[in-house]
Amino acid sequence: MAFLRDAESNPTVQAIFSTLKHVDATAVAAGLPLTLFGLAVSYYFIALLYSLFLSPLRSIPGPFLARVTRWWEYRVVKQGHSNQEFIRLHKKYGPVVRVGPNRYSLSQPKDVKKVYELGGKYIKTTYYSPLLSPVVHEQNIFAIQDNGLHKERRRKISPMYTMSSMVSYEPAVDEMTHVCIRKLNQFAKEGRLVDIPHWMQYYAFDVIGAITFNKSFNMMENEGDTTGMIKGIREANDFLAFWGIVPNLVPWLIGIATALGMTSNTSTLVSYALKQIDNTRKENAKSTVKGTTKYDTFLKKLLEGESEGRLKTPNLLDACGSNIGAGSDTTAVTLSSALYYLFQNPDKLKKLREEIDQKAADGGLSDPVTFQEAQDMPYLQAVIKETLRIHPAVGTILPRVVPRDGMELSGIYFPEGVGANAWVLHYDKGIYGPDPEVFRPERWLGDEKTSIMDSMMFAFGAGARTCIGRNISLLELTKMVPQIVRKFDLVIEDADKPLDTFCAWFVYPHYNGRFKVRE
């Protein structure tokens, strides 16, 4: 903690610790439990005094309880609306806000660029430790704190995520898109009320299964979470969002859960990925003919890397698991948000349909829409960008550790942890104009668009730690949004009420609607 690092230079802190050094060791041994409790209370009391009266950052504004305990932020996250709360705090307190004893939220573009710049010195904090394996070479690429190790791991698999690689995955997306449209036609015929975000999760999972393993999870066909993975990933994300705030308690929680025999659905993802890797290896060993899969897959490329000695099993498991864990929810949240905002704004829907219908009339639109065709549809691209802006999937702060020698941000010298929140940045009037709360794709077109708008888009993170699966998500979005818009109307239930959301790690929207075949 900061008060320990500053002890050498702060005479008050030195005096407190000098007193503690002279505690009689014999007395301590005689009443060890009581002594340990007393020391713990003293430690917390010293930290409290330091934070309130001695810290060089004591003047940074924020809620009073956030100055003295991390449990303030935990409570806010647990309530499910932290994304909106952080926007409110920045409106009240300004560009730098305290959200914990050593956690600060930033909103100034120049500060955010410095913290998340490519090749920067800032590393991820212990907030991400709940996702870390104690075995370094098995650690999840998303949660790795060491920037050098992350760069090396990312370098090995990044060629599979390039936009040129996306074209090879497109047949898998098309197959799942056909399934989705067929099921939506069925729902329309039945007049069924559909949980739209849940359905988009089934679609996103089936796509990522086909892209990664050449095998759908069949969630759309079975109309449910057939593997328990959706529940497992939700558990993992919630665990990170809640307990990453107090990471020192994580080993205790895991120990208690293990002692009680409690298990998580997250293990389903790992065992499934390992099984698919093993099965594909066996199939490849039996087959003497190349190209026996229906289409190019992510795992196929990974196994080629393994056979060439570039990758090992932990790399394969990490990459496949990251695809499913990060790619499915991010895409599902954005897809369901795009549909919500389009069908709640008839004028925007009309503009997009005019673009789609005109391109189809000119013979420039396939069924399903190809990724390349979608790139030549400026209003569609603006709709996707505006959706990512107004409802970024991740709603929490992405914290970083300030370098050892500190850093000046917004005129303040920081020896502490800092971070930014996509929702705070995306609702900044200084960046996105006077109406950031309005869904208006036009802000991304013509003279309104500015370079700072693009540079502050934080939906997939920023810098060297940008979400590696970003292009997979964009592939699905640019193909599915126009397919649904061209074929269906969507009548949203309780359309006059604000969109209901729950934010822990991801900002999950909740709404129902009925599809109608477009005439």
| Ramachandran bin of 293, using left for φ above 0, alpha for ψ from -120 to 50, beta for the remaining angles | beta
**What is the DSSP code (8-state) at residue 346?**
H
Among candidate residues 161, 131, 155, the one with its CA nearest the CA of residue 144: 131
Return d(Cα 375, Cα 84) in angstroms, integer: 32
Token output for 133: 């394996």
3-state secondary structure 274-319: HHHHHHHHHHHHHCCCCCCCCCCCHHHHHHHHHHCCCCCHHHHHHH
Please state, as a whole number, how many other Cβ atoms lie within 10 Å of the Cβ of residue 12: 12
Token output for 26: 């014999």
Tell me the one-letter amino acid at 491: V
Among candidate residues 409, 421, 398, 394, the one with its CA nearest the CA of residue 86: 421
Q: Determine the 3-state secondary structure of 402 from DSSP.
A: coil
Q: Tell me the sheet residues that pair with 414.
A: 407
Return d(Cα 428, Cα 506) in angstroms, integer: 20
Q: Determine the 3-state secondary structure of 218 from DSSP.
A: coil
**Are the C-beta atoms of 393 and 418 separated by less than 8 Å?**
no
Return d(Cα 402, Cα 417) in angstroms, integer: 6
Q: Is 320 annotated as a binding residue?
A: no
Among candidate residues 254, 437, 422, 420, the one with its CA nearest the CA of residue 330: 422
List binding-site positions.
467
List binding-site positions for heme.
467
